[in-house]
Structure 1
Amino acid sequence: MLESVRKQWKQILIILMLYAAWNVAVFLFLVRLQGFEVTVKQFGPGNKLYINAVHTVIKGTFVYYIMIYHFMIPLIRNRKWKVIALQCILFFAVLTVYEYIWNFFIVKPDPSSSDTSPKIFFITTAVLDGLIILISYFVATLITSNEMRKHKEELEKEKLRAELAAIKYQINPHFLFNSLSFIYTKTLKSSPEAAHAVHLLSEIMSYALDDWGELGTVPLAVETEHMKKVIEMNQIRFSHNLKIKYYEDVQANDAFVPVLAFVTLVENAFKHGDLNDEKNQVSIELIATKSKICFLVSNKKKSGPKEPSKGIGLNNVQQRLQLMYGIKHSFTIKEDENYYLNEIIINL
């Protein structure tokens, strides 16, 4: 929350400095073009000049901040033209009323001036509002493009770090798969279930080590398929005595998710959870619609000595979700003395 407030104030200060510099440049240009006395007369004599100048800078900063960060950037990201258009109309209507009151009732125009009639005021205001919209959209486009470029660079760096980590920790995949293939062949006749477990392990390892492109993402259905293989392999490992409650409701969905995101959460439950408590079963829920994916894993903690864990897997999942979806996702971790819960929500 504090970080968000700091970011907003930083944005306001940047616009304040830029807009103040712009107004000073315009004023100096007008002085050079038409002379100091004519320019001062336009802005107002004496203290009125300073009041108008300060008011213009503060008002302009506020207007451009609202237009850029609350209207135009959301418009570029979400393409909700009708909603943003209505908000802009209401905003400029309120702004026009405020400026009318300021100019004709607070500051009060010079009666001898021909540029202070309500008709001239509304025409000038309409033209300036149009310019504000165009400038705000242009600046918002630059900001959004820069954010996308930085986001892409972060993804590339994250992918490079992931590749380096894989190289550092993995056993030679060819040796691993050849060994698993040998074990599978030798155990197929004597223990079909053990052979099936080896086959599942081979497929899971192949999935984990495969190259899934620049972003490291896979279709939701593929991640779900291998998550189920992890569950099945652990059931074989513990003679089908694990207490697991699995629920799935997936509509037609072509969404992509970070590879091993769901698998990691399930593996953590098997590693740290009490897998034999009938009343507190490991709960795995996947609900996916065309607009949202919800994935939840909860478990009772097992008693006794805890297996060492550095939390690398969860941190990796969290970082990749943030890079992929930003504010369109949430990753919740809840924990107390007895229970542990992870929940991923992705808005598509």
Structure 2
Amino acid sequence: MLASIEKEWKKVLLVLGIYTAWWVAVTLTALSLQGVSSVIEPYESPGHFYGQQAHTIIKGAIIYYILIFRLSIPLIRTGNRKKILLQFLPFLLLITLYEYIWNFKIGNVPPAIRDHFSPGTFIIVDFGMGLLMAVISYFIATWIESNDALKREGELEKQKLNAELSAIKYQINPHFLFNSLSFIYTKTVKGNPEAAHAVHLLSEIMSYALEEWGELGKVPLALEISQMKKVIEMNQIRFNNKLHINYDEYIEQKEEVLNNAYVPTLVLITLVENAFKHGDLTDEKNRVSIKLEVTRSNIYFSVCNKKKRGLKEPSKGIGLSNVQQRLQLMYGDKQSFIIQENETHYLTKIHINLTNHD
């Protein structure tokens, strides 16, 4: 949440900085061509003039921020032209109404300037200026999205190369692996059914992990949940069902939602495995808490565990970093991945907004 707010403030400040620089350049040009006294003379005082300039800059920056980041970019991303265009029109009308009240009711601009326009003429001209700003904003948004797309393509290429390198470094013949697991399962199914079941679970999980899921590893949420549960079950068998785990699941309109929601493969499993690797799962009073909530518009997933004491298993944090990168590539600003920790506990949280996402 805080990361999302910080990102939006950066956008606001960027627009404010660019618009301020542009407006200052325009003002300085007018001052140099017409002279300082000619430009400031219609105003009540120099302070009134500079106050009007500050108002114009702040107002313009806010308008361009909304037009670019709140209206144009969603239009480009979703292609839902009717919905966004219906938002453009009321916003432009609102700007025109504000300008009319500011100029003709509040009276904060010089009478000499205000008297050049009748209210009707002013409304038409100002609405036309709003349309021009909307067109400019759309082209700027198109440029921003094109640059972001190029960056994402570059990032995908890097990840592809890294994946290929990893495959070379850790190459193993999957057929040999699964044939071996099948052999072990056959030998143990009668004498030790629980061990055989664990082997079977491991085989299915590894088959899922090694499957080719396309460029982003995009899989149905239902499949990722199913494999995650197998990971939990296999670890319980591994530790003789002595692990203290609370798993809470709420899925709204289960069949419809799960069939239409997608996540990067292994993201939920990675968070669960991280808890198994670094968490204390033997403390009954501090159980590992795994929570999943899925609605038509949102996915919430969190894992909280008590930290393991003593020597810790070595970790480079690659798994969690990979989760963050792949969520960003697939969902952009419509997701958040948060890590919170203190001396005793570690918490990871994923939120994905599914609205208007193909």
Aligned position for 1:285: 291
Aligned position for 2:80: none
Alpha-carbon distance in 1 for matches of 2:109, 2:284: 75
Q: 1:110 to 1:287 in 2, by over 3 A?
A: closer
Alpha-carbon distance in 2 for matches of 1:3, 1:247: 31
Conserved? CA contact 1:331–1:343, under 8 Å:
yes
* Offset from partner CA, 1:278-313 (integer Å, 9 cap, x none): 222222111111111111111222333222222111
How many percent of aligned residue pairs carry the same amino acid? 50
1:181 aligns with 2:182: yes
Cα deviation, residue 63, structure 1: 5.1
Aligned position for 1:310: 316
Gaps of at least 5 residues in structure 1 are: 28-35
Out of 90, 108, 112, the residue aligned to residue 109 of structure 1 is 112
Alpha-carbon distance in 1 for matches of 2:145, 2:57: 19
Aligned position for 1:9: 13
1:89 aligns with 2:93: yes
Structure number with larger C-alpha Rg: 1
Aligned position for 2:78: none
Matches within 5 A, 1:179-218: 179-218=180-219
Aligned position for 1:67: 63
Aligned position for 2:338: 332
Q: TM-score, normalised by structure 2?
A: 0.77
Conserved? CA contact 2:73–2:142, under 8 Å:
no
Letter in 2 for 1:129: G
Q: 1:328 to 1:231 in 2, by over 3 A?
A: same
Cα deviation, residue 177, structure 1: 2.3
Letter in 1 for 2:129: L
Conserved? CA contact 2:96–2:127, under 8 Å:
no
Cα deviation, residue 144, structure 1: 2.9
Alpha-carbon distance in 1 for matches of 2:146, 2:239: 52
SS in 2 for 1:109: helix
Letter in 1 for 2:248: Y
Letter in 2 for 1:68: Y
* Offset from partner CA, 1:178-224 (integer Å, 9 cap, x none): 32223223323332222221121121112112111011111100101
Q: 1:281 to 1:324 in 2, by over 3 A?
A: same
Out of 262, 265, 268, the residue aligned to residue 268 of structure 2 is 262
Q: 1:151 to 1:74 in 2, by over 3 A?
A: farther
Conserved? CA contact 1:64–1:136, under 8 Å:
no
Q: TM-score, normalised by structure 1?
A: 0.79
Aligned position for 2:154: 153
Cα deviation, residue 13, structure 1: 3.2
Conserved? CA contact 2:271–2:303, under 8 Å:
yes
Per chain length, whose mean CA-contact separation is higher, i.e. which structure has more relative contact order (CA < 8 Å, sep 6+)?
2
Q: 1:122 to 1:77 in 2, by over 3 A?
A: closer
1:226 aligns with 2:227: yes
Letter in 1 for 2:296: K
Cα deviation, residue 265, structure 1: 1.0
